[in-house]
Amino acid sequence: MTQKNIWYEGIAFPFVGFNPELMRKAYEEFVVNEEDVLTVTFPKSGTNWLIEILCLIRSKGDATQIQSVPIWVRSPWVETVSGYEDLKTMESPRLVSTHLPIHIFPKSIHTTKAKVIYLMRNPRDVLVSGYYFWNYVKFVENTKSLQEYFELFLDGNVTHLPLFPCLDLGPRHFAFCRLPGLFQLPSILPLLSKLHEEAQASVVFGSWFDHVHGWLSLRDQKNFLLLSYEELKQDTRSTIEKICHFLGEKLEPEEINLVLKNSSFQAMKENKMSNYSLLSEVDLIHEGHGSFMRKGISGDWKNHFTVTQAEKFDKVFKEKMADLPQELFPW
């Protein structure tokens, strides 16, 4: 039997390395320190590229650490079982990574002055990158086709509950069942919710649209830096300088050269501490089915979307993101 994704708060997660109770504990108890630097992304937005750059800024371009310590140990993911453990004993100043939407990220985020870098990427490229990656690894339910993944990506998490096929119900909609006098179904709520989760397919980590909305609510805070994969790609040097400025780090031009060189697509592709090839040692990837360092370009979606898909994506994007200033999206 194929393994099913894990569900937490109505959002699907990979079935290896995640535990709903631990995520709940992290939400309540994990303390974001003022010295922490957070890398926050929806998956496939260039997270690891940014982490590599942050590590290299700290080492002034020296590659010793990035070539000897796995990237997930250098900047642990707070939502994973191993990452949460590593962060507990890690010395300050820590690098912390997350793909969590803000509403389930540890609540101490709302009272901290820690620096938060939110890296966004054209969601069309995020979609294509995710389609290949999640079918390459063995810890997420596979999707049969790009078309299926496309629909799930646009849908976020709200799919149809088989018990009420005429209603479009997601777990969050069960809240209305708790309203006094409307529906009193408390005893079967957990069962309905479970049935719903088991019946639906979803992209892991939920909706890109919700993720961006949630985290961008912090965009006017001084401790929040919004970056895009596209600007990082187009002018890597200036973007690295912008990051240094945000972090209060002063690097010499030769040191920036080293950061650039050691975080390039080619350098990361060859660095087994950053290219996730170590996952093959624990049998978590489908050998010969691609690579984590896939293409590393902007606009690859144009090689994958049909005209119909491109039009549908535009329409959904306009509807879902209309309330945000469009200048925020540089693609």
Beta partners for 77? 97
* Stretch binding ligand PPS (CB under 6 A), from 11-19, 80-88, 247-255, 293-301: 293-301
* 99 in catalytic set: yes
Instruction: Give residue 44's region: left, alpha or beta (phi > 0; psi -120 to 50).
Output: left
Answer for which of 17, 93, 296, 330 binds ligand PPS (CB under 6 A) is 296
Q: In this complex, which beta carbon is closest to ligand PPS, that of residue 224 or of residue 276?
A: 276
Q: Which of 158, 260, 300, 330 binds ligand PPS (CB under 6 A)?
A: 300
Considering only residues 160, 219, 294, 304, which one is a binding residue for ligand PPS as defined by CB under 6 A? 294
Q: How far is the CB of 99 from ligand PPS (least distance, A)?
A: 6
Q: Looking at 5, 39, 45, 122, which residue binds ligand PPS (CB under 6 A)?
A: 45
How is residue 313 written in tokens? 């994506």
Q: How far is CA 137 from the centre of its chain?
A: 16
Q: Quick one: which of 7, 18, 49, 317 contacts ligand PPS (CB under 6 A)?
A: 49
Q: How far is the CB of 268 from ligand PPS (least distance, A)?
A: 5
Q: Report how many residues bind ligand PPS under the rule CB under 6 A.
A: 21
- Residues 118-134, buried b or exposed e (16+ Cβ, 10 A)? bbbbbbbbbbbbbbbbb
Q: Specify which residues 228 forms β-bridges with.
A: 120
What are the distances in angstroms from CA 27 to CA 18, 33, 211, 216, 314?
14, 14, 16, 19, 34
CB of residue 200 to ligand PPS, shortest distance in Å: 22
Confirm or reject binding of residue 46 to ligand PPS (CB under 6 A): yes
- How many angstroms separate the CA atoms of 140 and 80, rounded? 14
Amino acid at 284: L
Distance between CA atoms of 24 and 19, rounded to whole angstroms? 9
Of 177 and 290, which has the nearer Cβ to ligand PPS? 290
3-state secondary structure of 119: strand
Rounded to 5 degrees, what are φ and ψ at 234? -75, -40
DSSP 274: T
Looking at this protein, which amino acid is placed at residue 93? P
Q: Comparing C-alpha atoms, which of 102, 103, 146 is closest to residue 124?
A: 146
Q: Which C-beta is closer to ligand PPS: that of 81 or that of 195?
A: 81
* Binding of residue 48 to ligand PPS (CB under 6 A): yes
Least distance (Å) from ligand PPS to the CB of residue 14? Answer: 10
Regarding 293 and contact with ligand PPS (CB under 6 A), the answer is yes
Q: Closest distance between ligand PPS and the C-beta of residue 248, in Å?
A: 24
Q: DSSP letters of 156-167? A: TT----TTSTTS
Residues 109-168 that bind ligand PPS (CB under 6 A): 125, 129, 132-133
Q: Select the span of 23-31, 244-252, 278-286, 295-303 touching ligand PPS (CB under 6 A).
A: 295-303
Instruction: Tell me whether residue 107 or residue 242 sits nearer to ligand PPS (CB atom).
Output: 242
Interaction with ligand PPS in 228-287: which residues (CB under 6 A)? 263-265, 268
- Which of 99, 211, 289, 304 is an active site residue? 99
- The b-or-e profile of 56-65 (16+ CB within 10 A means b, else e) is bbbbebebee
Residues that bind ligand PPS (CB under 6 A): 41, 43-49, 125, 129, 132-133, 263-265, 268, 293-296, 300
Would you please indicate which residues are annotated as catalytic (active-site) residues?
99
